Amino acid sequence: MRKAFLRVASNLSRSAKALVAFTVITGCSTAQVVTPAEASSNKYAAIVVDANNGKTLFSSNADAKRYPASLTKMMTLYMMFEAMKTGKMSKNTPIKVSAYAASRPPTKIGFKAGQSIPAEAAVLALITKSANDVAAAVGEHLGGTEARFAQMMTARAKQLGMRSTTFRNASGLPNMEQHSTARDMAVLGMALRQHFPNEFSYFSQRSFVYRGQTINGHNRLLGRVEGVDGIKTGYTNASGFNLVSSVSLDGRQIVAVVMGGNTAASRDAHMRDLIKKNLPKAKRGRVNSNALIAARSSGPIEVAALQLPVAHQAPVPAIRVTATPNIAPAAVIPAASIPTPARNQGSNPQIEDIINRAFGGEEPQQPRMLALAAPAARPAAAALEAVMTPEPRVDLDSNHVAGVDPVTTSSAPTSGGWAIQIGSLPSANQANEMLSKVSSSAGRVLAQATPYTETFQKNGTVFYRARFTGFTSKDAAWNACNALKKQKFGCYAIAN
């Protein structure tokens, strides 16, 4: 009798443990068991929201900080649609590409400085190609500089209820201070649909054709999953594989977000599963005017479930090298034309190959990492520094940002690049610690500067230079040094 009792008790204990494990996995009554491969990643987050009423149908790490990667371009597009709606930009408005914008790493169209692209073509290039050069050009056109535009993006995001989002550029290229959450990305997806119902149809484009050349998109759920009508993919090494999907079918509408997928295929499979399980739960009918408010207010403000990389760990994305359209060059590029890719415009093929191996933005086959402040020799980065124009420095005016003027015309001029050096140290860790210390203490002085290290040898010993780059003039670099010296940091300016 005693043995029988013990067996029953043991079975009950195992059942209880299984129930607890199931509860931990599901997290709440609205959730299902997520795809194991995705759930095991510390980058993973997901949410499904009923776009008709704002109710959360599924949630996993939805309020944890994540890197948005090219999902950032959804906000860039929101700002463009807003400018079009207010009459400050039309579909044919030419957007000039500066030297800085043209120098952005792939994925890109391949502009030369001084060329331009019409606004509607820019929209399609952002959605399908996820072009980083176009994103930077749009940022400069609407904000004067990309840095100021990122401040405008962040301010608008806060107004939409994206409470845990900060933007630092228009493209989603790696920046350790640029982060968002799955919930915030769902809010943005809903806002795009609600506020710009006509322009939202652009997100259903799987490709677009210009002068007979086809530029294909990365969203493989379009046309393959019934009801999917947008929105955007994204990838960096730090973020994993991201996807926001909008679904409208039989009177039901949902917005679903998957962040931190292990591969593009597993991310897509997980998204299909989320759509299949949660679309039937959505309510039929018209969109409730309070749906957006409900979607953004059903979670905590911020949950730090992921320790974001620090400066010297923040990786640069790597991608599959995709073919760019071969558009014949012309002596004079009209405003309504998309230019020949950089490879066909007399660029250095060796440099181009190095860049394509080191950088990227969408759907990689073999991800690689290049540290932002790599302690070892960086041949790829050295090649990039030789051909890329440094990001223009701008003193951000908080009063301007608070006003969120959606359109400021012109492109920011760029000039020769300068850097400042704050020390030479015997180890990479010490150099990176110095960079982090100066960054945290300097505030706005280094707001637009990029930290990096480089090695040199002296008497057979390797040392690490700790530097900040991105200054557009000698005066800007020396002004930064003078400010740092007042804070007891050693510093001198050097031409890049």
Backbone angles phi, psi at 214, to 5 degrees: -100, 130
pLDDT of residue 64: 95
pTM score, whole prediction: 0.61
DSSP symbol at 203: G
pLDDT of residue 7: 56
Tally Cβ neighbours within 10 Å of residue 134. 30
| Angle CA 477–389–414, to nearest 5 | 65
pLDDT of residue 346: 35
The CATH 3.40.710.10 domain(s) of the chain lie at: 30-312
Q: 465-474: buried (b, 16+ CB within 10 Å) or exposed (e) per residue?
A: bbbbbbbbee
The CATH 3.30.70.1070 domain(s) of the chain lie at: 415-495
Answer for the pair 174, 72: CB distance below 8 angstroms, yes or no. Answer: no
Architecture of domain 30-312: 3-Layer(aba) Sandwich (3.40)
Answer for the pair 187, 169: CB distance below 8 angstroms, yes or no. Answer: no
DSSP symbol at 129: I
DSSP string, 21-46: HHHHHH-STT--PPPHHHHTSTT-EE
pLDDT of residue 445: 79
Quote the tokens at residue 361: 């933005």
pLDDT of residue 288: 76
pLDDT tens, 412-455? 223 337 888 988 888 877 887 888 888 877 777 787 778 877 77
In this structure, which long-range contacts are made by residues 263-267, counting pairs with CB atoms below 8 Å and at least 24 apart in sequence?
A: 264/220, 264/233, 264/235, 264/363, 266/35, 266/37, 266/38, 266/241, 267/38, 267/240, 267/241, 267/242, 267/243
Q: Which runs of E-coded beta strand occur in 30-173? A: 45-50, 56-60, 94-96, 116-118
Helix (H, G, I), strand (E, B) or coil at 9: helix
Would you identify the CATH topology of the domain 415-495?
Alpha-Beta Plaits (3.30.70)
In this structure, which long-range contacts are made by residues 263-268, counting pairs with CB atoms below 8 Å and at least 24 apart in sequence?
A: 264/220, 264/233, 264/235, 264/363, 266/35, 266/37, 266/38, 266/241, 267/38, 267/240, 267/241, 267/242, 267/243, 268/220, 268/221, 268/243
Q: Which residue has the tokens 């030419």?
A: 94
pLDDT of residue 450: 80
**Element (H or E) spanning 324, and its range?**
none
pLDDT (tens digit, 0 to 9) for every residue of the chain, 496 residues total?
455 545 545 554 554 444 444 333 333 434 444 544 667 678 999 999 999 999 999 999 999 999 999 999 999 999 999 999 999 999 999 999 999 999 999 888 889 999 999 999 999 999 998 999 999 999 999 999 999 999 999 999 999 999 999 999 999 999 989 999 999 999 999 999 999 999 999 999 988 876 567 888 889 899 999 999 999 999 998 999 999 999 999 999 999 999 999 999 999 999 999 999 999 999 998 877 788 888 876 554 333 334 444 433 333 333 333 333 333 332 233 333 333 333 333 333 333 333 333 334 555 433 322 222 223 334 444 444 444 444 454 444 433 333 333 322 222 223 337 888 988 888 877 887 888 888 877 777 787 778 877 777 777 788 888 888 878 788 888 888 988 888 888 888 888 6
pLDDT of residue 47: 96
